[in-house]
Amino acid sequence: MEIANTYLDVTKKQYNRSYAEAKYISEDMPQKITAILSKQQFDYKVEGSVGQGGWTFTPWISIFNKEVTVSATKGYYVVYLFSKDMERVYLSLNLGTTYIKNKYSGKKPRQKMMKLANNIAETIKYDPRFNRSPIDLGSSTDNALNYEASHIIGKKYDLANLPNDEILKEDLLKMLKVYENLFLINRNKAVDDVLDYYLQLEEVEDVQFQQDIEVVEPSITPKIPQEKRGKKNKSGKVYSRDASVAKEAIVKAEYKCEVDPTHETFISEVTGQNFVEAHHLVPISKESEFDYSLDVPGNIVSLCPNCHRKIHHSKFNEKKKLLNSLYILKESELKTYGIHLPLSQMEQYYK
């Protein structure tokens, strides 16, 4: 692609926007993409930018479903993102970041962007030509870092060796299909409500999991390392959690909070026992880092709802106190099930 050879020179010299490189991004490509989209189901806006003031290091061309958003600052959209060195371009399903930046200002909003992008990716179906590999724009500007953090799924192209136009067109249409499906699932919700839902997805699913624990019979798990099961939850996310295994751990703890047995809550109508919740001490999301299943009684602690929320949502110094006492309590049992890690590694998971 010729632009890859000349864009860097133009940005260094800060020429005005009449140059071909600017027109290619802001006019030529958007027109070509618009022609491709003319027969699609939804009304799209296509926009390209080389920067609002000076030339940006990471130009982009975005495709917006007008029923979702018409701006890269809001909602979710499809975008071509060029790397700073003009060696790569990514086709990305991405997130507008203004809402998250404002809502979590001063509270590590970029981590929230990554969590949101990850949660969406784990609940949607997409063609195997796309993947969850991180994108690298090679720039430390806020915009570039936000694009990277908000990347949901995508595909990388080498600008020196681009596939032919038919493949590029097919990839774009396949990505738009993912975009359309995400929109249709959430069509009756306000865009900000959609983002809030996906941010809270783990909490929503955990409520159902705790309800399932109440009604199942406890399993009887041999005290040896267990193979991973790779079960799927209702959203399609691979999540090796079995309510009967959690019930086994809670029964063993005699329905008491393992942080402090004096933490009484209320008597459950279902079990007739003090109400507690199950928590995987080594997060189940880290199972790929271990040889054996993390969904075993030795990795599940019984907690009162307050301690359960505390270990998820408190400041890290508070979490650290809980983790230290629970790690000491469960370390031997963790090893029995083939789960080996130092306390420092567990703490890192909770930061």
User: What is 89-103 written as a DSSP string?
Assistant: EEEEEEE--HHHHHH
CA distance 268 to 246: 16
Shared domain for 18 and 72, answered yes or no, is: yes
Task: Indicate the number of domains in the chain.
Answer: 2
**Does the pLDDT of residue 279 top 90, yes or no?**
yes
Closest C-alpha to 253, from 216, 304, 207:
304
Q: Which of 1-10, 49-58, 205-214, 273-282 has the highest mean pLDDT?
A: 273-282
What percent of the chain is modeled with pLDDT above 70?
93
Segments forming the whole domain that contains residue 276: 216-350
Shared domain for 345 and 317, answered yes or no, is: yes
In a domain, 39, yes or no: yes
Q: How high is the pLDDT of residue 17?
A: 54
In a domain, 271, yes or no: yes
In a domain, 207, yes or no: no
| Residue 91: strand pairing partners | 80, 155
Shared domain for 183 and 232, answered yes or no, is: no
CATH number at residue 42: 3.30.920.90
CA distance 63 to 44: 6
Closest C-alpha to 65, from 74, 55, 57:
74
- Yes or no: say if 92 and 78 are a contact pair by the CB < 8 Å rule: yes
199, 228, 258 — which closes off a domain?
199
Shared domain for 152 and 40, answered yes or no, is: yes
In a domain, 99, yes or no: yes
Q: How high is the pLDDT of residue 41?
A: 79
In a domain, 205, yes or no: no
Shared domain for 68 and 134, answered yes or no, is: yes
Shared domain for 195 and 220, answered yes or no, is: no
Instruction: Write the pLDDT tens digit of every residue in 220-277.
Output: 999 999 999 865 544 444 457 899 999 999 999 999 999 999 999 999 999 999 999 9
Residue in this structure with the two tokens 């909770």, named with its chain if needed: 350
Instruction: Write the pLDDT tens digit of every residue in 173-225.
Output: 999 999 999 999 999 999 999 998 898 887 778 888 999 999 999 999 999 99
Shared domain for 130 and 180, answered yes or no, is: yes
